């Protein structure tokens, strides 16, 4: 996990987006239904706001560790989707 969750710098707080990618690019979201850090209902709301294709799976906040096959399947779906 430490390799995938690298620290970020304070400069990241000053970044500005001109247009959210969710307005121009397709999105996918994997709801971890047993997440104790981000409530699943909040995840669903974020996914809906982004217009994401949603997959739900029982798993914790670190679902990519506990359910790597499910995560890989979502990534494959995204990679195979037609470009906008």
User: Which pLDDT tens digit goes with each residue over 4-56?
Assistant: 666 667 777 788 778 877 778 899 999 999 999 999 999 999 999 989 999 99
Alpha-helical (H) ranges within 1-84 are 40-50, 63-66, 68-80
Segments making up each domain of the chain, as ranges: 26-80
The structure's pTM equals 0.74
């Amino acid at each position: 996990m430490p390799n995938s969750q690298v620290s970020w710098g304070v400069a990241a707080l000053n970044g500005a987006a001109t247009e959210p990618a969710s307005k121009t690019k397709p999105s996918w979201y994997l709801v971890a239904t047993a997440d104790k850090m981000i409530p699943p209902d909040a995840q669903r709301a974020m996914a809906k706001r982004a217009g994401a294709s949603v997959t739900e799976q029982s798993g914790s906040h670190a679902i990519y560790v506990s359910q790597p096959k499910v995560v890989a399947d979502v990534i494959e779906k995204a990679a195979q989707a037609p470009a906008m």
